[in-house]
Homo-oligomer: A and B are copies of this chain.
Amino acid sequence: MVNGAAALALAPAAAKAQAVQVSASARAVHNRLMCLDTHMDMPANLARQGWDVMTRHSPDMDMTQVDYPRMIEGGLDGGFFAIYTPQAPLTQEGMNAMRDAAFLRAAEIREMVAAHPGKFELAFVPADAARIAAAGKIVVFQSIENSGIIGNDVSLLRSFYKLGVRMAGPIHFLNNQLGDSATDKKKWGGLSPMGRDFVKLANDLGIILDASHSSDDVFDQMLAQSRAPIICSHSGCRAVHDHPRNLDDARIKKLAAAGSTIQINSYNEYLIDVPPNPARDKARRAVFGKMENLDKMTPADAARTLKEMAAARVALDKQYPSPRANFEMFMQHVYHALDLVGPDHVGIGPDWDGGGGVTGMEDVASLPRITEQLLKKGYKESQLANFWSGNTMRVLGKVVAARKA
């Protein structure tokens, strides 16, 4: 995933949002299951003036993909809400700024829950998820995307654990002090020495290590070092689409053999070839640069700006047409992973509000389509229960069991 201007510069406009058509029987199965998403970037929207998680939005309206009404509509019981921080220069000043922003984001997630105690509840262990979902509330686990926020002090991971974080990916788009990114040039050859300390501490605390965005070397080294399963919270299959953010079959099998799961992403550029187009990228940056200022605008100005940007995105995509993946292409990754390792080792992390979304699955309200397709493929409800949450809760349970208090 990626947020803000960068994400939108990459993501083509969502097609016109339409009510998702799903058979009543598929929807009934879907609604019976506890459905969790392992990577949602929605928390980035919480600080936007006038943006209310309790209001139904749409991609056309303000380009967002997750809010409470759409979670209910999509039968999503919750999941991991990301504390995502864009990479700053790895100077002391840049690292401080990332750290400070991350603490504020963590507080904002907790504020969202505190503001709506009847709708959301913080979760820390698998039993919490079961209880909260049974009570009809959204299960709010917290995760970190880009653990470069800890600067030069690995022990800061403890502060985030204390705040409730139970999953953390060391790296994002660029190499950082913890190791190499899947989308950057090799620098460390995997984890840095600090990255190894990070893995050890995450194990000791009971935080799931998330290898999405990490280089293959980092994946291998984390898997080898970690005494509990690691996860890929939002990654696809390289055998379906050859992109470094996707996992090859051998690694998907290793993940499964270690008891874990690959959670399939719906990020356009990991699903389909998008030829470089500097003119388009420049035009998009000009439009989406305003996103950075949204937090400081009045609610009315922010809403108006977002609406303008949503319209501009449609216009830009007409002016500079570029390929956009569709639901079927996303499902090919799901099917491939299921064929390869079975329903106990696959789930979803579509990267909502972080650049995810495909034609036919524009936001979280579309999730029942996945269940419908998997039922058509012959998967049983008990298998889908694992796909939708059993697998990730099994991983969390193992990570908690392996912690050193």
Q: Which residues of A contact B (CB under 8 A)?
A: 92, 96, 99-101, 103-104, 106-107, 110-115, 117, 153, 155, 158-159, 161-163
Contacts and interface: CB of A to CB of B under 8 A. Distances in A.
B163 A96 contact: no
8 contacts: A92-B155, A101-B162, A103-B103, A103-B163, A104-B162, A107-B107, A112-B114, A114-B115
B103 A159 contact: yes
Contact of A103 (B101, B113, B162): B162
Contact of A117 (B96, B107, B115): B115
A163 to B, nearest CB: 6
A100 B99 CA distance: 14
Among A96, A107, A117, A155, chain B packs the most CB atoms within 10 A around the CB of A107
Residue from A101, A114, A115, A158 whose CB has the most chain B CB atoms within 10 Å: A114
Given A107-B107, A153-B153, A159 B114 contact: no
A329 to B, nearest CB: 40
A158 B112 contact: no
Rank and list the top 10 A-B pairs by shortest CB-CB distance, nearest first.
A111-B114, A100-B162, A114-B114, A114-B115, A100-B159, A107-B107, A103-B159, A107-B110, A96-B155, A104-B162
Contact of A107 (B100, B101, B106): B106
A178 to B, nearest CB: 18
Nearest to A100: B162
A104 B107 CA distance: 9
A158 B96 contact: yes
A361 B132 CA distance: 43
Contact of A99 (B101, B106, B117, B159): B159
A120 to B, nearest CB: 11
